[in-house]
A and B are shown apart, each in its own frame.
Chain A
Amino acid sequence: MTDEFVFKGRAWVVGDDIDTDMIYHGSYLPLTDPKEMAKHALEYVPGMEDFTERVQPGDILVAGKNFGSGSSREHAVITLQYNDVAAVVAESFSRIFYRNAVNLGFPILEVPGITRELDTSDELEVDANTGRICNLTKGTEVQGTPLSGLEKEIMTAGGLFNFLKKDMQTVE
């Protein structure tokens, strides 16, 4: 893993149990164009209704426990990716969101207690490789659990298809 897995950006802090309907509401499921999907990111998270107008490329979403529970919809990852959110850091992830993020090569990091450590708009440096997060605004550091093993290989390949294609080439 290289520098491309180190991100610097502003934090957006949301709470526990942010489910997939809040990240990407079921009423938008018929959409298939990622750019259209991107317009509805976090629309149903209380206080985040205008997120897509205010988010800046490279911003980092920080969430509480069980982020992304509910639906299998990959839209929930895509809508964040297409808003140029650099990564999601959460106290814990719902497994289905976690898996979809890995398969799409979208950086995620588990950091227990993270929401107590920082505020929205804090400037962060996230190293998805080592799991270290520096809060540049507050001058603090926390250590999370970086991906390892197969998940890390898939993520760093840029997602499942890139991983499989690399794999197929190696076999051939």
Chain B
Amino acid sequence: MSGKTIIEKILSEHSGEDAWAGDRVWADLDLAVVRDFGGPNVVLEYEKQMDDEPVWDPQKIAMTFDYQAPAKVVQVANNQRICREFAAKHGIPHIFDVNSGVGQHVLLEQGMILPGSVVIGTDSHMNLLGAVGSFSSGMGTTDVAAAWATGRLWFRVPESIKITFKGSYDYPASAKDLTLFLLSKIDTTKTIYKALEFYGEPIDALSLAGRLTLASMVTEMEGKIGFIIPDEDILAWIGERAGRKVDAVLPDRDASYWEEREFDIDGLEPLIACPDRPDNVRPVREVAGTHVDQVFVGSCTNGRFEDLRVAAEVLKRMGGKIAPHVRMIVTPATTEVAMEAVEAGLYETFIKAGAMVTNQGCSLCTIGHHGVLAEGDVLVGTGNRNFRGKLGKGSEVYLASPAVAAATAVKGEIALPE
């Protein structure tokens, strides 16, 4: 009998069963999260099914308002109120309101996400928490409402793919380019519902921010989760916030993988995902010169402090001003990131350059809040999706690293950082 992969270990531990790829198991959950998107739907479904019955465990439910923060339309304000009232009624303490930022990042900073945990939430990028070895999964309304009632959900144990990177790369290439490289090379029809495990020196070298970037776009690879085993520094960072010692979940040495792939990323260059698919990836140099109307730095993929710092450095190095016709929007992922950026003087750099710095949250990744595009507009952003019409009918979205986004803002056309 061979050993277990990370996902098989986590789901065995949480189901009390001997879980192997392909099995269906009912797993105990560590946390069930809603946002102001999906949250009201979950509350209404819960009340429809369960009336006034108490929730399974108020401590294991969290609400994070990042979708339209603060609310722009009355409907969303009402939705947020529905969630707040439900939290008050059921004694749910972990409610992170519109001043908090992107939910997954907030929960991570709060020490609420531990390696080896099982977390679900109403966000298809919930799985970015695989960056610290948590099995986190985006779920629909019914799943989360059922989780609030029972504390358990069904899972089909995914097959695992072991992905090992080798080689090294230098600035201006970054974790985003490594991610886009993988998206372009991996056949996403073969990664549907697979658990990916990432290894190799280029992965070991990634900071927490870089790991979050890679893990967040496993969704665009159609994967269920992408695990990166946390190193000592990250374990200590989480442990300090959680107020307890935490350990990583490691796969067995003889774990059985559905597939093992190796990618050489030596000399990786800056890449960009062109409209309308995240895997429509080309070298930046090939599309350099494309006219751009708006630039966005932020999102759950690239909204950490070091993402903002890279963007600010590029702006400074390239003259400190964005092109007159460009609208640039910068959004820190969380309050903590915003504070760090203020203290480091990044806000001053952005504002002097002509950029707008918004409050923490999902910002324009969710259409209908701010920064939507006109027909014919082109945006270069650091987010994770560029589906047709995502930010407005007839507009186009390119996805790139913070460095490329900042250089593009200065030049007013897709450009490499100098």
Q: Which of A's residues lie within 8 Å of B, judged by CB? A: 17, 19, 21-22, 25-27, 29-32, 44, 65-66, 69-75, 77, 92, 94-96, 99-100, 103-104, 149-151, 154, 159-161, 164-165
Contact = CB atoms under 8 A, between A and B. Distances in A.
Contact of B140 (A27, A30, A69, A74): A74
B75 A30 contact: yes
Interface stretch (B146-154, B201-209, B398-406): B146-154
B121 to A, nearest CB: 8
Contacts of B145: 161
Contacts of B188: 66
B351 interface: no
A161 B49 contact: yes
A74 B124 CA distance: 11
- Name the residue among A17, A21, A22, A95 with the largest chain B CB count within 10 angstroms: A95
B277 A17 contact: yes
Contact of A104 (B79, B142, B156, B192): B142
B127 to A, nearest CB: 10
Contacts of A44: 388-389, 393
Contacts of B68: 30
Given A21-B389, A65-B189, 19 more contacts: A22-B387, A26-B366, A30-B73, A32-B41, A32-B79, A44-B388, A66-B188, A72-B122, A92-B189, A95-B193, A95-B224, A96-B139, A96-B140, A103-B146, A104-B140, A149-B24, A150-B154, A154-B154, A161-B49
Contacts of B76: 30
B230 interface: no
Contacts of B222: 66, 69, 94-95
Interface string B27-54: 0000000000110110011000100000
Given A44-B388, A154-B154, A160-B146, A74 B192 contact: no
A150 B142 CA distance: 16
Contacts of A65: 189
A22 B388 contact: yes
B143 A99 contact: yes
Contact of B367 (A17, A26, A77, A104): A26
A70 B124 contact: yes
B165 interface: no
B15 interface: no
A120 to B, nearest CB: 21
A26 B37 CA distance: 10
Contacts, number: 108
A77 B41 CA distance: 14
A101 B143 CA distance: 11
B366 A74 contact: no
A153 to B, nearest CB: 10
B350 interface: no
Interface of B: 24, 37-38, 40-41, 44-45, 49, 67-68, 73, 75-76, 79, 122-124, 126, 138-143, 145-146, 149-150, 154, 156, 188-189, 192-193, 222, 224, 277, 366-368, 385, 387-390, 393
Contacts of A69: 222
Nearest to B120: A72
B140 A31 contact: no
Contacts of B368: 26-27, 29-30
Contact of A77 (B138, B140, B277): B140
A44 B73 CA distance: 22
A79 B340 CA distance: 42
A151 B123 CA distance: 22
Contacts of B44: 32
A104 B45 CA distance: 12
Contacts of A66: 188-189, 192, 222
B24 A150 contact: yes
A104 B189 CA distance: 25
A26 B388 CA distance: 12
Contact of B387 (A21, A72, A154): A21
A29 to B, nearest CB: 5
A71 B127 CA distance: 12
Nearest to A93: B192
A98 to B, nearest CB: 8
B146 A100 contact: no
B142 A100 contact: yes
Nearest to B368: A27
Contacts of A17: 277
A52 to B, nearest CB: 17
B79 A72 contact: no
Contacts of B193: 95
Contacts of A100: 140, 142-143
B75 A94 contact: no
B359 to A, nearest CB: 19
A171 B176 CA distance: 49
9 contacts: A26-B367, A44-B393, A66-B192, A72-B140, A95-B193, A150-B24, A150-B154, A151-B156, A160-B143
A96 B138 contact: yes
Contacts of A104: 140, 142
A95 B146 contact: no
Nearest to A161: B49
Contacts of B40: 32
B388 A72 contact: no
Contacts of A70: 124, 385, 387
A95 B124 contact: no
A51 to B, nearest CB: 16
